[in-house]
A and B are shown apart, each in its own frame.
Chain A
Amino acid sequence: MVLKPDYLKVIDDIKYARIYSSTKTVLTGLQLLMRIVNDAKNFEELSTNLMVIVPLLFKARPTSAMLLNSIKNFVAEVVKASEEGDLDYVKQHVNKKMEEIEKKILRLAELTAKIASHRINDGDVILTSSYSTIVLKAFKFALQEGKEFKVYVTESRPGSEGLRLAIELTRIGLKTTLFVDSAVRYMIKDVDNVFLGSEAVAANGALINKVGSSLIALAANEARVRVFALAPTLKFSPETLLGELVVLAEGEPSSLLPEGLRAEFEGKINVKVPLFDVTPPEYIDAIITEKGLIAPQAVVMILKEIYGWPFHVATLDEILEGLRSWQK
């Protein structure tokens, strides 16, 4: 087998959240799969590599519904093309499809952001956390629409993506205030709306996003501040409708401690670094999708539109089975 080490490096980058924003993570993952297709010299190699890498890629970020949805679409296209023609045909077909998938992801993100921008009014203070490209885009649209507003950003430990987002926000000319995650309840009095990105949306309307999101939503709920989750429907998890739980990935314990303290604490204390948490639907005022604003409780309606009734959701394993006939 010819597993290139740089394939595995991409997987590691995704696993340890070195890529900011879930949309960029998904695009990176898909580009990796595309390279595997393009690098393949025969069907056997293609099938072997995909059957190893695809599950690794999924497990690198099991929380991301969009990653799973996109991987499934991608593999299904490979299987379909391989039934229709030779390897060159597969490469050609999948490259074209890949372009479409990428375009779709970006277009849905833009549409979602555009709709979200309508919920920003002159004089608003919007609180956000972590680093969401869709939230950032919504702010850009609102600025283009001539709205004057301010953005509050939490540091967003672990990872501190808020520091990066604050830089981007001031770069596009927004008044930006940064503070530690603990200060959310203290600062929420000044806030009009909370905008959250999304890693996945469950069938009951619960939002899975960067850890701390549920704490922000709780404080917003207490202060009667509205909470919007920005989630194109590609981030909806059909598996949750069949009872599957979304896996909440954790980071490396060492990532929380500065290097100087690692040796001292090694073996003496436990360190827990959750990367995601779950915000219950009752703390979310609306989920903003490319199809418009919906109540979290209406997520199931969108899932029905996509997957039919009764639902049919093929598992990743089932889709991968289609590649097995190429193995010797």
Chain B
Amino acid sequence: MAKIEIPPEVVNIAEDIKNMKIRGAGRIARAAAKGLLIAAQRYEGGRLEDFLDYMAQIAEVLKRTRPTAVSLFNAISYVMSRVEKAKGVIGDVEELRRVVVNSAREFIDYSIRAVELIGEIGSKRVSDGDVILTHCNSSAAISIIKKAYEQGKSIEVYVTETRPKFQGYITVRALAEAGIDVTLIPDTAVRLIMRRIDKVIVGADTVAANGAVINKIGTSLIALAAKEANVDFFVAAETYKFSPATVIGQLVIIEERDPREVVPESYLEKYPNIEVRNPAFDVTPPEYIDVIVTERGVIPPQAAILVLEEEYGRAIADYIIQATRAIESDEEALVA
């Protein structure tokens, strides 16, 4: 593989994703697509093979910024699978460049539209007079709540402050600006408040093949409290948050982040013997989830595999092919 030159704008995007200046599954995905788009536009060579090699290396660089973010992987695979498909029939760099640019734009538009569609679809499940609980800051969940409110439904929303990073502040701000009656509560008050709640609506970071949802730490505790109180639990998730890798058994890795998000640095320095742990996500089992609202429609979590086959059949097939090759080469080694 030839050494390539990465355009500075793309380097910046990769850096911003890595150090979380760009965060949230949707924004990461769109930033990665934009990275591919810019890289294609900046490419100056003339040979098709070189361009393909160049794009593959850019895709690798972008993927490595947050190796556990499924949306990032899916955004890149959305664009690159179209490149892969086109390369057999396309003869020159110009045409293939257009494929990258168009499919990256398509993905970005699609991802923005998906949030609106989820709002449209999900809002139908919100009734007049509902009291809703949400956690953290999810644009898809907010989209549902806002849409329901715009439809004239009278709703009240409780928002957890969401330690350690207080994303609840962003959510209360967005909802209050829309004119919605909103109440901030500490994360510990979830079970106490649950008896007043009609529906819980949260976003997702990743949806696994079995319908388990990986989302901001605390989500699974809220789902458990909702189940206990027989309160509906909805997850709002674009299909590009579904993880094809989980189909072949890969586990979603839960990131543990810097303890300085939990306590001030002075506390850590003064009390070095206290271990401070900061898991960023947890896993909500499918049996605690009533439905997942996607831009393709409302599905039970157990039907996640359907979405994965329809949207990422190709990626899954690739995994299977790789796995098959690995077995075959093992067998060959044994025979030899």
Greatest chain B CB density within 10 A among A177, A183, A219 is at A183
Residues in chain B near residue A210, CB distance under 8 A:
188
Q: Is the CB of B275 within 8 A of A186?
A: no
Determine how close the nearest CB of chain B comes to the CB of A322; give it in whole angstroms: 37
A169 and chain B: residue at smallest CB distance: B274
A214 an interface residue at 8 Å Cβ cutoff?
yes
A178, A184, A268: the one within 8 Å of B274 (CB): A178
Which one of A14-22, A237-245, A272-280 is at the interface? A272-280
Which one of A79-87, A140-148, A151-159, A286-294 is at the interface? A151-159
Q: Is the CB of B182 within 8 A of A270?
A: yes
Q: Is the CB of B190 within 8 A of A215?
A: yes
A187 to B228, CA, bound (A): 20
A156, A163, A186: the one within 8 Å of B263 (CB): A163
Please report the total number of B residues contacting A with Cβ < 8 Å: 44
A218 an interface residue at 8 Å Cβ cutoff?
yes
Q: Is the CB of B191 within 8 A of A214?
A: yes
B163 an interface residue at 8 Å Cβ cutoff?
yes
A248 and chain B: residue at smallest CB distance: B192
Residues in chain A near residue B275, CB distance under 8 A:
175-178
Determine how close the nearest CB of chain A comes to the CB of B114; give it in whole angstroms: 27
Which one of B35-43, B100-108, B277-285, B298-306 is at the interface? B277-285
B135 and chain A: residue at smallest CB distance: A182
A170 an interface residue at 8 Å Cβ cutoff?
yes
Residues in chain B near residue A181, CB distance under 8 A:
163, 186-188, 218
Q: Is the CB of B188 within 8 A of A215?
A: yes
B221 an interface residue at 8 Å Cβ cutoff?
yes
A265 an interface residue at 8 Å Cβ cutoff?
yes
B225 an interface residue at 8 Å Cβ cutoff?
yes
Main secondary structure of the interface of A (DSSP, over half): mixed
Please report the total number of A residues contacting B with Cβ < 8 Å: 44
B220 an interface residue at 8 Å Cβ cutoff?
yes
Q: Is the CB of B182 within 8 A of A256?
A: no
Interface residues of B in 81-113 (CB under 8 A from A): none
B297 an interface residue at 8 Å Cβ cutoff?
no
B48 an interface residue at 8 Å Cβ cutoff?
no
A271 an interface residue at 8 Å Cβ cutoff?
yes
Residues in chain A near residue B158, CB distance under 8 A:
272
B163, B221, B277: the one within 8 Å of A185 (CB): B221
Q: Is the CB of A180 within 8 A of B228?
A: no
B262 an interface residue at 8 Å Cβ cutoff?
yes
B185 an interface residue at 8 Å Cβ cutoff?
yes
> Could you list 14 further interchain pairs (A-B, Cβ under 8 angstroms) beyond the known A177-B276, A180-B278?
A157-B188, A179-B279, A180-B187, A182-B216, A183-B282, A186-B220, A187-B279, A211-B192, A218-B225, A257-B184, A261-B169, A271-B184, A274-B189, A277-B188
Binding site for A on B (CB under 8 A): 158, 160-164, 169, 172-173, 176, 181-193, 216-218, 220-221, 224-225, 228, 254, 262-263, 267, 271, 273-279, 282
Q: Can you list the 6 inter-chain pairs with the closest CB atoms, starting with the nearest?
A: A182-B218, A212-B188, A270-B183, A170-B273, A180-B163, A277-B192
